[in-house]
Amino acid sequence: MNQISEWVLITMDKLGLFGVALMMFLENVFPPIPSELIMPAAGFAAAMGRMDLIAVIIAGTLGSLIGALPLYYLGTIFNEKRLLILTERYGKYLLITPNDVINAQSWFNKYGKAVVFFGRMIPAIRSLISIPAGMNRMPMLPFLVLTAIGSAIWTTILAYSGYVLGANYEAVEAFIAPISKAVVLIVLSIAAIIIALRIKSVFFDQKGKH
């Protein structure tokens, strides 16, 4: 992780805001590069006066948004069976397993388009959720809007955490973990409420028929 951290800082020092956007793009297509390290490091750089915090957030969001497109189009080209074969053969180079694809598809099937928004704040789901969105031919405009909003919220939290923590920005992952868990609980709660309302609606419809 220290080597990745040094590489992140060097890249941002050389390329500035473009480096932030580039790394967040790569984070989407190459999940082993964590946004929990990239954006806090960028926030730290902003705290040091090397970049503007708002510009850092915009660059990170833009990089995430553009980075979501390759996986979206990958989903439109390949069906689940072919994707599982590809990840079985080549996923080890990207640290992606067939189960990761299956889990992303499962999340999309359960929670629909909303997971494209909430998924941006959940590790392991964040990048791969674009694949089932493409496989299910989710309309591009809603996909882009939900991805942009979810990514903006997440990059803001991470960048500001790095800005506040300063040189201790690498500790942000432990600081952020409860937020990711809270997002998962919110998604599960919303799903439970929707299911309960549907069951209630079916119950009253059947009761009305009697």
Distance CA 36, CA 210 (A): 56
Q: What is the residue whose two structure tokens read 């992303």?
A: 104
Tell me the CB-side half-sphere exposure of residue 53, using CA atoms within 13 A. Answer: 15
Q: How many CB atoms lie under 10 A from the CB of residue 2?
A: 7
**What is the rounded CA–CA span in Å between residue 99 and residue 87?**
9
Q: Domain total for the chain?
A: 1
**Domain housing 55:** 2-209
- 97 contacts: CB under 8 Å, gap ≥ 6: 87, 91
Give pLDDT, residue 57: 94
Q: Using one digit for the tens of pLDDT, what is the confidence trace for 18-58?
A: 988 988 898 887 766 677 778 888 888 888 888 899 999 99
> Tell me, what's the pLDDT at 58?
95
pLDDT at res. 96: 73
Q: What is the token pair recorded at 82? A: 């072919």
pLDDT in the model for residue 113: 78
Sign of CA dihedral 108, 57, 145, 24: negative
Both tokens assigned to 96: 């992606």
Query: Which portions of the chain are predicted below pLDDT 50?
Result: 179-180, 183
Q: Is 102 exposed, middle or buried (0-12, 13-18, 19+ CB in 10 A)?
A: middle
